[in-house]
Amino acid sequence: MASERKILFRGGIIVNAGGAYEGDLLVENGKISDTGRNIGQGAGEVVDVSGKFLFPGGIDVHTHLDLPFGGTVSNDDFFTGHMAAAFGGTTSHIDFAIQTPGETLTEAVDRWHEKADGKAVIDYGFHLAVTDFNDAVLAELPTMRKRGITSLKVFMAYKGLFQVSDEDLFQTLRIARDSGMLVMVHAENGDVIDVLVREAHEKGNLAPKYHALTRPPEAEGEATGRAIAVAEMAGAPIYIVHLTCALALNQVRRARSRGLPAYAETCPQYLYKRFEDYELRGFEGAKVVMSPPIRSADNWPHLWQGLADDTLQVVSTDHCPFCFDGQKDLGKDDFSKIPNGAPGIEDRMMVMYHGGVNEGRYDVSRFVEITSANPAKLFGLFPRKGALLPGSDADIVVWDPEKEKTISAKTHHMNVDYSLYEGMKVKGVPVRVYRRGELLVDGDTFHGEKGSGVYLERGVFTPV
């Protein structure tokens, strides 16, 4: 529900993708109605934001809430995940409605709506992950536009479960091109990985580190190049999800330098976690079992550079939390049974601000671009979301650039018993978070109402 109140944010630094300026911002009925100076006379509520940044609410375009995976279910649902997102300054996200083989696409989307109905607090949309390719499914794809879905995910990995053939990838890209949909690709060579996993089993190599060793960066680099080549042949744009390494990044860079509409995201864990985390004592390495895996730290500077120079357009989280106790331990005796995924929806804005802005890799406008504006443009939400402009939804993050915080599972709101960033000190945190003009978070207090988040029917993507 939109707020009926008039709220004036006075004296902050308003940040959009194109730049930042000092000014006031007026909200009426859940929308931004004006920005500038000396505006909003007679506003009922005045919020002094001097010394603070105002950012458009974060948009996380890659999440897995309430996802059945590997014999269990990711441990944040559409309430706990949304509350955690709001505490971290994220006010919209796009989750993956994943088709179960045998199911129609309509059934998959209906199932995901049921998960969110009555629970949502932030606004949400769905991508459709297609896993079962047949004539009926391919014919159904364009009808998803009517359900507000304008992006699809396909997997080049997870052989025997979700993996797409090149033929189906090509056909899907052509259908998507003709229907104004963007295809997102999980780019890892599933055939090679399948052989390597079998060999690891035969040799009795079952510890968590073999998850990474059986999914080498070459498998990602090859699949990224192949996906882009197939998209070029199909005449379609393409978006590579959760890119982790220099080999894959170089494929995207080469494609973009040739003018191809190739886009890519990375996730904070690939900028902060290192291969050696798989070798930590005991079973600790399971905490970073995700696909693609964490790489060696020499990839980090390449990814930061890619974010700064626009080879990478988006930072998402791939938030897919499984508890260390009771879920990750399903793979105690075999890395291939560890549920794939890690938490991050609450941390994304803080760690990307800290590592990006504080450490001089990009400025606040680029921070807004990769965490909010580009996600909104590429996934058909701009300028309703992703901007602080008259007419945009009043999704506003009041950000204190001086405030410090130590990230910990003891204090985070994600429904998971560990943090990827345990003990990390960040400077720059959200202190108030509004969604459509309603205060969701004020310091440590949550004000969001369960069920108040709305489903976002998305338009076609805008190239960035």
Q: How many residues can be counted in the chain? A: 464
Q: Which is nearer to ligand URP, 289 or 376 (CB)?
A: 289
DSSP string of 30-90, one letter each residue: TEEEEEESS--TT-SEEEE-TT-EEEEPEEEEEE-TT-EETTEE-S--TTHHHHHHHHTTE
Per the CB < 8 A criterion, the answer to whether 13 and 52 are in contact is yes
CB of 37 to Zn ion, least distance (A): 43
Report CA dihedral (46, 47, 50, 55) to the nearest 10 degrees.
-120
Residue number, 8 or 320, with CB nearest to ligand URP: 320
**What does 26 bind: Zn ion, ligand URP, none (CB cut-off 5 to 8 Å by kind)?**
none
Nearer to ligand URP, 220 or 393 (CB): 220
Please say which residue, 40 or 344, places its beta carbon nearer to Zn ion: 344
Residue 61 binds to ligand URP (criterion: CB under 6 A): no
- 340 binding partner (options ligand URP, Zn ion, none; Cβ < 5 to 8 Å by kind): ligand URP
Query: Is the peptide bond between 339 and the residue preceding it cis, with omega within 30 degrees of 0?
Result: no
DSSP 113-177: HHHHTTT--SEEEEEEE-----HHHHHHGGGGGGGT--EEEEES-STTTTBPPHHHHHHHHHHHH
Q: What is the three-class DSSP state of 257?
A: helix
Position 186 contacts ligand URP (CB under 6 A): yes
Choice between 256 and 319, CB closer to ligand URP: 319
- Looking at 14, 320, 345, 396, which residue binds ligand URP (CB under 6 A)? 320
Looking at the Cβ atoms of 224 and 340, the one nearer to ligand URP is 340
Q: Convert 114-143 to b/e letters by CB count within 10 Å (16 or more is b).
A: ebbeebbbbbbbbbbbbbbbeeebbebbee
Residues at the contact surface with Zn ion, assessed by CB under 5 A = 186, 318
Residue 445 structure tokens: 């207090």
Among Zn ion, ligand URP, none, partner that 371 touches (CB below 5 to 8 angstroms by kind)? none
For ligand URP, the nearest residue by Cβ is 340
- Closer to Zn ion by Cβ: residue 159 or 447: 159
CB of residue 242 vs ligand URP: minimum separation in angstroms? 6
CA distances (Å), 168 to each of 81, 92, 162, 431, 438, in order?
A: 33, 31, 12, 46, 44
Site for ligand URP in 275-314 (CB under 6 A): 290-291
Shortest Å distance, C-beta 201 to ligand URP: 19
Q: Does 341 bind ligand URP (CB under 6 A)?
A: yes
Residue least distant from Zn ion (Cβ): 186
Which of the choices Zn ion, ligand URP, none does residue 290 contact, using the CB cut-off of 5 to 8 A by kind? ligand URP
Q: Which residues have CB under 8 Å from 131's CB, separation 6+? A: 98, 99, 100, 101, 155, 161, 162
Which of residues 316 and 392 has its CB atom nearest to Zn ion in the complex?
316
Q: Which is nearer to Zn ion, 26 or 290 (CB)?
A: 290
| Residue 218 burial (CB count, 10 A) | 13
Instruction: Please identify which residue in 10, 64, 287, 348 interacts with ligand URP, judged by CB under 6 A.
Output: 64
Shortest reach from residue 75's CB to ligand URP, in Å: 13
Minimum distance, C-beta of residue 339 to ligand URP, in the bound complex (Å) = 8
Q: Is it true that the peptide bond before 292 is cis, omega within 30 degrees of 0?
A: yes
Q: Which residues contact 111 (CB under 8 A, 6 or more apart)?
A: 97, 103
Q: Which residue has the tokens 């060696």?
A: 296
Residue 184 contacts residue 127 (beta carbons within 8 Å): yes
Of 66 and 318, the one with the shorter C-beta distance to Zn ion is 318
Residue 152 CB, nearest approach to ligand URP (Å): 14
Burial of 405 (0-12, 13-18, 19+ CB in 10 A): middle
Handedness of CA 295, 297, 300, 301 (dihedral sign): negative
Minimum Å gap between C-beta 431 and ligand URP is 31
Give me the 9-48 binding string for ligand URP, x by CB under 6 A, dash otherwise: ----------------------------------------
- The partner in contact with residue 341, picked from Zn ion, ligand URP, none with C-beta cut-offs of 5 to 8 angstroms by kind, is ligand URP
Contacts with ligand URP by CB under 6 A lie at: 64, 186, 290-291, 318, 320, 340-341
